[in-house]
Amino acid sequence: MAKNNGIPCRLVLEDGTIVRGRSFGKTALSSSCGEVVFNTAMCGYQEALTDPSYAGQILIMTAPMIGNYGVCGADLESKQAQVAGFVVREASRTDSNYRSEGELADWLANNNVLAMDGVDTRALVRHIRQFGALRGVMSTDPACTDEDLLSKAKTSNVMTGQDLASQASAETPSNWTENLGEWNIHKTSKSSGQLRVVALDCGAKSSIYKNLVSAGCEVVSMPNDASPAEIRAQNPDGLFVSNGPGDPEAVNTTIETLKVMAKELPTFGICLGHQMLAIALGATTWKLKFGHRGANQPVRAVETNKVEITSQNHGFCVDEASLKAVGCVVTHRHLNDDTVAGFRHEKLPIMGVQFHPEASPGPHDSAHLFRQFAQMMRTSQKPV
């Protein structure tokens, strides 16, 4: 049976909304602040919990039961849980899956994550959709009054202006060799030769690197504050800019590096990387009302008119007019609200997408973009 310690837990939003439930996972009395957001995926809770892009956020899953297939080390997207809190309708009482290595509640406790169930997540998500992503405080501490928690929520950090990517980044360079293994969906020819890619880690999901390796790339992961000189020293064929948390316009060091290196190397950005790449080229970004988070987000590829179902996790978006003004064209559009979901530069080998082509979880409709990046690097290679 999954452990539910039965301690009353509250989520207080900055607008005064109070949601009550039961805690599971972390057992010590505590409180946690964060921007409250929701994910509409029907599965993949462990990948979401370990996605560094959720740093500083309290995550709501809209699927009615979470934890039914347990947890598995192979599904981790980083070394630990990244969320500030976790809210579900019902935590499964048991795990049932041949890959399960344990129960979600135990894993959350070991990762020091405050979680709560018994919540009407449908009503809570409808509230966020109406009023936008709100700051909130979760607490199991009875010594904190509702008024205390409301005050904490109102005075907690807003997401706009926060450079969380620098906190989520790797501290030292490392070589990534792990691929997708038996799940490899990239058909690459060994005769094509391996491409060397420097990946600026702003809080990257491990599945992204696995896809790059499987697409024929030798990946060198570097901190997001790596200088142009440090990148050049790796003698790369291309530059990759990862996903990550926080406001893209606040990650000044990475943006300054991209202003230089994107003009020298074929460059591909995903999610936060897509946004920072656009900013480095002279475009601007803006904050969405409640973001796009889930594994069922429809995107249309403008140049082929093909619709792809994508995995997404972001709260900011690139401004279309500013993007076109700096010599870029929109390559993908989000079909739910017509926002920019991808772009490429008209003259330089630069491209970015707002969604996650590695999925994890989600469909693999967009996995071809890793191969497209590899082809862009091969086309741009200078004769020896």
Q: Which residues are catalytic?
A: 271, 356, 358
Tell me: cis bond preceding 361? Omega within 30 of 0 counts.
yes
CA–CA distance, 92 with 264 (Å, rounded to integer): 51
Q: How far is CA 225 from CA 165, 176, 370, in A?
A: 10, 18, 24
3-state secondary structure of 23: strand
CA–CA distance, 247 with 316 (Å, rounded to integer): 7
Helices assigned H by DSSP within 111-195: 121-131, 146-155, 165-168
Q: How far is CA 354 from CA 90, 186, 272, 333, 358, in A?
A: 31, 21, 7, 9, 12
Give the other-Cβ count within 10 Å of 156's Cβ.
Answer: 16
Kindly provide the b/e burial profile for residues 203-224, where b requires at least 16 CB atoms within 10 angstroms of the residue's own CB. bbbbbbbbbbbbbbbbbbbbbb
Q: What angle do CA 32, 203, 134 make, to 5 degrees?
A: 35
Specify whether the CB–CB gap between 239 and 265 falls below 8 A.
Answer: yes
What phi and psi values does residue 193 have, to the nearest 5 degrees? Answer: 85, 150
CA–CA distance, 31 with 235 (Å, rounded to integer): 47
Identify the helix (H) or strand (E) that includes residue 333. Answer: strand 328-334
Cα dihedral value 60, 62, 64, 70, nearest 10: -60
